[in-house]
Structure 1
Amino acid sequence: MSFQNTLSYAKELDANDQLAAYRDQFHFPKIGGKEVIYFTGNSLGLQPKRSADFVEEIMKDWRELAVEGHFYAEKSWWDYHERLAAPLARIMGAKTPEITVMNTLTVNLHLLMVSFYRPTAKRYKILCEEKAFPSDQYMFQSQIKFHGLDISDTIVEVKKREGENFWRTEDVLAKIEEVGDELALVLMGGVNYYNGQVFDMQTITKAGKDVGAVVGWDLAHAAGNVELDLHNWDVDFAAWCSYKYMNSGPGNASGVFIHERYHGRTDIPRFEGWWGTKKETRFLMQPQFDPMDNADAWQISNAPVLALAPYLASLEMFEEVGMEKLIAKRNKIVSYLEFILREIDKEVESTFEIITPEARGTQLSVFLHGEGRPIFDYLMKNGVITDWREPNVIRLAPAPFYCSYEDMYRFGQILKRGIEET
């Protein structure tokens, strides 16, 4: 597609954008009285205006019904989390019974490791990408220590090639084959937080399964961002946060996928609590755990409905639009942003290196050769909310729900001034 770096062209793109009206359904911070250009939906999505109504509904029920709200609220609390399963299943490419919502992301990954990381004397190694998100690294290390294993011998990292900023799928597959029958678990980030690369999850999952390993995915940067088909890819388990592209609020609840092959089993190791027991017998207070026959068997405590309310509000928007339209706009607006960056690069004495490969979602990671932290500070002071990563990278994530093409043009002009003035 032939783009133009002009305000009139950007406005024309917005006028033809099917999702343009959704921008007005979000709250934008303001700097200097003007709405910011918001590039950090990959860290915390903006607040949908309808979220407050969903929270207030629960507050009203709490005021008026107190404990009876568990059963007699219009959206009863005891099964509130079940309302999120079907819309999430459509986003994640899953069957509804394979989805549950509980806790937060790293807590859920730890709980899933209880079930799906079962090291033996021969098969004990964990494969991940090098420099995985720190929380995942800490989780791996603590799980390995819990099992009494040696971290350096157990963690197998797939590295990028010298001089390259991305991982090659063939290198991941080669490492899986190399580790072979010593490999217990493949657990990677489906979209890398630093460079924005989308891994070939289907191919990697098959390779891991072919050598007898369990395969899971941390989908923190993938959920609501890229096309997923977890059930048909034969993924064993996955977890994701909801506060990035899914706009559910800071630190909010995590979604979980557990393939149906593990449902209804009483022999699987699992940390259990009474909300994972069958609804029919839950309040009989029986001494033996009787698991739900779906992913809810991994639930431990009753759902934090005040946290789930804004998540449900956001999922309502995903249901209205659908991932197909979101991905179509994502592809176009990210391509336009890339065009703007390259045009500005031609106009100023600076060099930008986009380190995000073609296999990407909403994020572009840009290495600013010859520029330092001052350009990031300039952007922030001038109404561009973006993200800095050492040593010299800004991450730009134009979320398709609320970012406009005019935002991309305006960002380019601010960036140009910043380079010229700093």
Structure 2
Amino acid sequence: ILLDLGKPVHPLSAFHAFAKECAKNPAEQEKTVELWAALNDDEKQKYRNKYEAEMIEYKKNLLNWQAEMVAKGLSDVVDANKFKKMQLASSLAYFHRDFVAGHPNINEEKAIRNAWETLSSEKKQEYEDRWKGDNAANWAEVLAWHEKVVAESRKSAAVQSVQNRTRKAKYEIHRNLGKPKLPSPPSISFMNKLGKGSTEKKEAGKAWTELPDSEKQKYRDQYRLDLAEYRKKVLDWKAHMVAERPADVVNQEEYQKLVLKESDQPKKPPSPNVMFSLDYWAKHGKAPGSVAEIVKAPVEQWKLLPEKEKQKYSDRFKTEMLEYKMKLLDWKAGMIAKGRTDLVDPEEYKQLVLEMSGQPKPPPAAHLMFYRDYGAEHKRVAGSAADLIKVASVQWKNLPEEDKQKYYNRYSNEWYAYEKRLRDWEREMTTMSLEDDEDE
């Protein structure tokens, strides 16, 4: 439906564009990962350059398409997550339902897929036509619903925010609903005192750069105070909007994040490579330019770092992660005691308690063990982790049964060891519980 409405198609990544070319030749298709790895950097860069150029064009076209949808009153279409829920199943899913209804004893995906492959082209076309017809009817209902809502609730702030989902329109709606105003940064506060004209603004900017650090610090200190006060006001305003206004006015997920931030929730420590980047910037400073240029130097240095040095950061991360989990445990217990189950799920708290108590974890399934091994060998070949998982999944399906059996045996052995550790842990927990009872 989105394509019928003219939505631009997302370009293929460098690796996937190469894989598409390989797919034309069955002999090459089976060795896509190896062939990609065999390409030199210049050849790979050609695919990457093509992808970057296509992405720039795609983003421009997407923005134009989204603006067109908003102008037509079809803002719901722009929200991909909501729109996905409106879409009906594919023609294959229709066949899936019919097949299961006629063969109640067969519900294996592979058997159903094979039955679909053996279906005549005429029968497949019937399912395709049936799907298209139902989809068109569904889309007509969505449009009718949208027109009805707009007609009946034109003055609603919620509908206005859907119809005019632009940054400027959102600011206007929030301002009319009494949202607190964000304080001006230190430099802007200083310049506002001197004047607002274009010539005066240039002079004010120059005056700010020449201002002594001690004077600048006064503006910075005031900005921090104003910002803290602003955050409190925004939190109260959002709580009021969530309670009194339609959900479209305030993003409730964003509100929850703000509440968690204000509740002194412990911060998760950065990963080892991020720790290294922070240390690198503290020592060498940040390079001027875009974000990509700023992060480029520490990323390259991290790659060159010896494994022993990387291990130091990994050990530091593990130590800080343990401290974080202990603080998180105390924080969650405090939130539950205060009745703030809107911030903390009691079940998640129980899981964290079990994790911190040293409860053994079950081993991953056989195919996940294979994915992990395959990823360790090919992690620098495919582009993203998602690409690697897709390729590993195909490789697992094509793996000979005797090789699969090795992973099944490995899983069985690890499961036996896990059950033994679990029994030992349960005995230890029981002993500790009895000792606590005796102390009481």
Q: Please state which structure has a larger fraction of its residues in strand.
A: 1
Q: Please state which structure has a larger fraction of its residues in helix.
A: 2
Larger CA Rg, structure 1 vs 2: 2
Q: TM-score, normalised by structure 1?
A: 0.23
